[in-house]
Amino acid sequence: MKKIIFSIFSFSLVSFFSCSDGDLEIETIDFDSAPAQFCSSPVPTSTNLLFKINQSETLILELQSGVLNNGVVGETVITESSVPNQSQLTYRIFSDGVDKGYFCDNIPPVQPVVIQNVEAEDGQVIVETVVNPDDSTKFVHTISLGGISFVTESGQRITNLRINNFGEVTTNVPN
């Protein structure tokens, strides 16, 4: 009888300590192959919302007004914005795949549900602006991220990031 009780107790103890507490473990954030998207064309004088979707994960970048500056025709202009003080970067995991409509519809859909929302605590958004070589009436803004640091609610620091190149957006050269 002691062996049976000991076996049940041992199994229960091992099961108790090996159970997951339900926390979602994020191993890497990889958005290299996902294109930058937006709902309406970016405007240099406004705050701009850009996002990347990778199935059930999204990377949301809210650019500070003026970061997409109008540049100077014939020159490369580099503008920086600090995260989270000036621009915000959010990593979000959903219960299922998400699409552009989640961000662009007037009333966001109820499904999928946000499982985890992680705000970047540090980093830089770097925007390089040049005149489009194929269309001199447009500026091309290449958006890069540097030194981005995410920390989850449980204190887990996410360091395996593959999001250095956020993407490109185009704006009109002012008349």
16 found inside a domain: no
Count of domains for the chain: 1
Residue 149 domain boundaries: 26-172
Q: Residue 54: what residue type?
A: N
- What pLDDT, in 10s, does the model give residues 116-128? 999 999 999 999 9
CA 128 from chain centre, in angstroms, equals 19
- What pLDDT, in 10s, does the model give residues 105-156? 988 788 899 999 999 999 999 999 999 999 999 999 999 999 898 988 888 8
21 found inside a domain: no
42 found inside a domain: yes
